[in-house]
């Protein structure tokens, strides 16, 4: 019986690449999306082309009722990857309203809170635990102009994940965070000038900017293989950006 993985926000970017990665590793992948049905259907086709199986399911994972519907009828779940991203407002604190700031932070936490509670209950009923990975960001530990809302939200996500690891561990569920640096996705298109990309390449052991597949490969290794004894970890995926000179 093939294991089952749910990936939130899997219609594009890191989520889509992770869906294809896990499909290739033998998982049946539930491709969650919120708005773009065509993109999610395309991801399922990519999974199938690679020899895996999957299905696309629409749900806004910030909404507890929609999360319940998403998981209804799911016989079991072996892996949860929380990747759904809430677009942040970028700008200084002085020019940002409380509503904008709070919308990012609460949206980010809502997108993991409801699905985590449901999935932990399901994994507990299974009696064998599972694997949970939260996709955070290197930004959680950095300061840079305009990123106060984004960094605060991701730092809160990291704290949430540590406590979930503590609570879920006795039941056999390993919980970890993957924190990518800048990745070539639709979400980073606005900042990817040739100069920026050259700078990222210089601070990379890969000699190039990160691709979604680079992050997906790390997530795949975490949930499928020799990382069963690792929980509560935060794994930066930046190809050396934190340590290599500019």
Report the pLDDT value the prediction gives residue 195, as an integer from 0 to 100. Answer: 82
Q: How many residues does the chain have?
A: 246
Beta-sheet strands, E only, within the chain: 4-7, 28-33, 53-58, 79-82, 131-135, 174-180, 234-237
Q: Is 80 exceeded by the pLDDT of residue 191?
A: no
| Distance separating alpha carbons of residues 194 and 174, to the nearest angstrom | 39
What is the mean pLDDT of the segment spanning 194-207? Answer: 86
Q: Is 70 exceeded by the pLDDT of residue 189?
A: no
Nearest of 50, 47, 70, 46 to residue 58 by alpha carbon: 70
Report the pLDDT value the prediction gives residue 148, as an integer from 0 to 100. Answer: 96
Q: Is 80 exceeded by the pLDDT of residue 129?
A: yes
Report the pLDDT value the prediction gives residue 78, as an integer from 0 to 100. Answer: 96
Mean pLDDT, the chain, integer: 94
Report the pLDDT value the prediction gives residue 10, as an integer from 0 to 100. Answer: 97
Q: Is 90 exceeded by the pLDDT of residue 188?
A: no
What is the mean pLDDT of the segment spanning 80-105? Answer: 94
Q: Is 70 exceeded by the pLDDT of residue 87?
A: yes
Q: Is 90 exceeded by the pLDDT of residue 23?
A: yes
3-state SS record for 35-102:
CCHHHHHHHHHHHHHCCCEEEEEECCCCCHHHHHHHHCCCCCCCEEEECCCCCCCCCCHHHCCHHHHH
């Amino acid at each position: 019986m093939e294991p089952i993985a749910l990936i939130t926000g899997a219609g594009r970017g890191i989520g889509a690449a992770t869906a294809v990665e896990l499909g290739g590793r033998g998982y049946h992948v539930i491709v969650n999306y919120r708005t773009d049905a065509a993109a999610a259907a395309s991801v399922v086709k990519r999974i199938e082309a690679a020899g895996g199986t999957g299905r696309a399911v629409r749900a806004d994972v910030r909404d507890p009722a929609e999360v319940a519907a998403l998981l209804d009828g799911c016989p079991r779940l072996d892996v949860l990857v929380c990747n759904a991203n809430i677009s942040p407002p970028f700008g200084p604190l002085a020019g940002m309203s409380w509503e904008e700031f709070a919308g990012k932070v609460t949206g980010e936490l809502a997108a993991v809170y409801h699905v985590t509670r449901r999935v932990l209950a399901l994994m507990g009923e299974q009696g064998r635990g599972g694997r949970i990975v939260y996709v955070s960001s290197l930004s959680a530990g950095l300061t840079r102009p305009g990123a106060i809302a984004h960094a605060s939200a991701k730092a809160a996500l990291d704290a949430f994940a540590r406590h979930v690891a503590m609570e879920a561990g006795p039941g056999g569920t390993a919980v970890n965070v993957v924190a990518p640096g800048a990745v070539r996705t639709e979400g980073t298109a606005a900042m990817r000038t040739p100069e920026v990309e050259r700078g990222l390449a210089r601070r990379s052991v890969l000699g190039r900017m990160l691709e979604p597949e680079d992050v997906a490969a790390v997530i795949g290794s975490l949930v499928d293989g020799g990382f069963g004894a690792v929980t509560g970890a935060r794994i930066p995926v930046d190809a050396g950006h934190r340590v290599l000179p500019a």
